Amino acid sequence: MKRIWKFSLVSAFAVFSLAACGKPSDPSATGAPVPGEAKPKSNEPVTLVFGMTGTEEQFKLKISENPQVKAKFPYVTFEYRSVNVGLEKLLSSNDMPDLINVVYRKLPEVQELKLGTDLSPMVSANQFNLNTFRPENLESIRRYSGNGQLIAMPDSTNKTYSTYALAYNKDLFDKFGASYPKDGMTWDEAIDLGKKLTRMDGGQSYYGLHVNNPSSVLTWQQGLNYVNQQGKVDLSGQKWVELFRVNKRLYDEQNRVAPPNGIATFTNDKNFAMWAGSVRELFLNAEKYDKEFRWDIVTFPSFQDAPGIVPPEGGVFVLTSTSKKKEAAFEVLSYLLSGELQEDTVAIFEKGEKLGKHVDAVKNRKASIYVADKITEQGDAVFAAQIKGMNTNQLDINTANRNAQEAIQKKYNEVQEQSAR
């Protein structure tokens, strides 16, 4: 069985899985070949600085005080840095870590600050197997570089499972005599089904469908960017129309209720019949929830023009261009992405399968190739506010689109001005 190790450093929910490293089955997958052999590994004492968004406690648990890591690298001293202070600040203060673990949407900043290192030569020299990664994750990273370079590594080698699915409460469906959801539904089909369960019953409000963080998740699922190739904010095109329309329906068809992000409405309140998002936490505590209510999953709903596509997930490792210890850092990185560090995503879903859950709903799902742009991080927040404004103020889609484009353009201009200083 492939083994996966939980590594919650990008965020409380970010996990990267770890599979064996070896000679690539497809040499072309390793990038440009490098003549000669990999340099012999040195066991001389070295200090590596690790940057991440997670806490120092998480860093100690998973890196510096992890028994397996310490046994493998007794000569390495690991130091923690929080990247939450900003990559630019770390760079200007000459305190840039050797390795950083961040979400994909940080890569535009990595590129702008020239922090990326093309890992292809090291991958080739060390015979690191890139075939352990999802192809779409590698493609996303190569697109960020602008010239096909491998400027980062995905922090997950889990190729089998996505964590995005549509969970549903069988008790509520049975209570109201509705048919269970099925695999392969579009967003309109899922919303239509949810509408049948949205009602007041016995003084209790029930709702059909809760999508976690829909404004961002559905944007990622569509693979949409705020800024076009000409450097202008551009929310035109049918995909954007669909994105606004689906977000509007999600609100209007649930009695105009926008639930808070998180899975608690489904697992604790139990007044939402369906919940769409990452079901990892649900499966992590599958036995507990099984005692409380009957539930299962089907595939994550998709847009009509992209059937079966799920949102991307996970983060990346960047071996920074400023590091003077690249060989040691790559050796550690290779180990962190190796099968010796065990447990988690695969084991969680395999356990769920033994409990009779429809785990095929998250198996071998293809994610969208999403390449964030310079404004993505700030743009997501602005876009979420605009979607909320559209819903609460009952704006039509065209007006909401125009408002969002103007607001994001304003934010983009601010970011550009700050960069020019």
Percent residues over pLDDT 90 in the chain: 67
Report the pLDDT averaged over residues 185-212.
95
| Residue with the larger pLDDT of the pair 407 and 314 | 407
Q: What is the pLDDT of residue 2?
A: 36
Segment 215-237 shows an average pLDDT of 91
Q: Predicted confidence band at 3 (pLDDT cuts at 50, 70, 90)? A: very low
Segment 195-206 shows an average pLDDT of: 94
User: Are 197 and 273 a contacting pair, CB within 8 Å?
Assistant: yes
What pLDDT was estimated at residue 21? 33
Q: Is the pLDDT of residue 164 over 80?
A: yes
pLDDT at 36: 32
383-408 pLDDT per residue, tens: 999 999 999 998 999 999 999 999 99
pLDDT mean over 149-165: 89
310 - beta bridge partners? 367
How high does pLDDT run on average in the chain?
Answer: 86
Tell me the average pLDDT across 162-174: 97
pLDDT tens string 37-72: 345 466 889 999 999 988 999 899 889 999 999 999
Contact 166, 156 (CB under 8 A): no
Side-chain-facing half-sphere of 201: CA atoms under 13 Å: 11
**Strand order across the 46-52 sheet:** 76-82, 46-52, 99-103, 315-319, 153-154
Calpha distance 211→111 (Å, rounded)? 32
Band of pLDDT at residue 98, cut at 50, 70 and 90: very high
Round to whole Å and give the CA distance between 169 and 192.
Answer: 16
pLDDT at 404: 94
pLDDT at 134: 87
pLDDT tens per residue, range 4-45: 334 434 433 343 333 333 333 333 333 333 333 345 466 889
- The share of the chain scoring above pLDDT 70, in percent, equals 88
> Which domains does the chain possess?
27-159+313-343 (3.40.190.10), 164-310+366-417 (3.40.190.10)
pLDDT single digits (tens) 272-303: 999 999 999 999 999 999 999 999 999 999 99
Q: Given this model, what pLDDT does residue 330 score?
A: 96
289-304: b (≥16 Cβ within 10 Å) or e: beeeeebbbbbbbbbe
Q: Is the pLDDT of residue 230 over 50?
A: yes
Rounded Cα distance, 228 and 224, in Å: 10
DSSP 200-225: EETTEEEEEEEESSHHHHHHHHHT--
Is residue 83 pLDDT above 50, yes or no? yes
pLDDT at 372: 86
Output the pLDDT for position 76.
96
Give the pLDDT of residue 340.
62
- DSSP string of 274-312, one letter each residue: EEEEE-HHHHHTHHHHHHH--EEEEEPPB-TTSTT-B--
Instruction: Indicate if the pLDDT at residue 119 is higher than 70.
Output: yes
- The pLDDT value recorded for residue 343 is 53
User: What is Dmax (Cα atoms) for the chain?
Assistant: 74
Q: Is the pLDDT of residue 411 over 50?
A: yes
Sheet holding 164-169, edge to edge: 199-201, 204-211, 272-278, 164-169, 295-299
Which secondary-structure segment (H or E) carries 80? strand 76-82
Give residue for tokens 């998740």: 217
Q: Please, are residues 173 and 197 in contact by the beta-carbon 8 Å criterion?
A: yes
How many helices (H) and strands (E) the chain has is answered by: 17, 10
**Higher model confidence: residue 251 or residue 22?**
251
Q: Exposed/middle/buried for 9, CB within 10 Å: 0-12, 13-18, 19+?
A: buried
Nearest by Cα to 254 from 290, 200, 306: 200
Give the model's pLDDT for residue 42: 66
Pick 230 or 185 by higher pLDDT. Answer: 185
CB 81 within 8 A of CB 50: yes
Q: CA–CA separation, 301 vs 303, rounded Å?
A: 7
Per-residue pLDDT, averaged over 324-335, amounts to 94
Assign 150 to helix, strand or coil.
coil
Backbone phi, psi, residue 394, to 5°: 55, 50
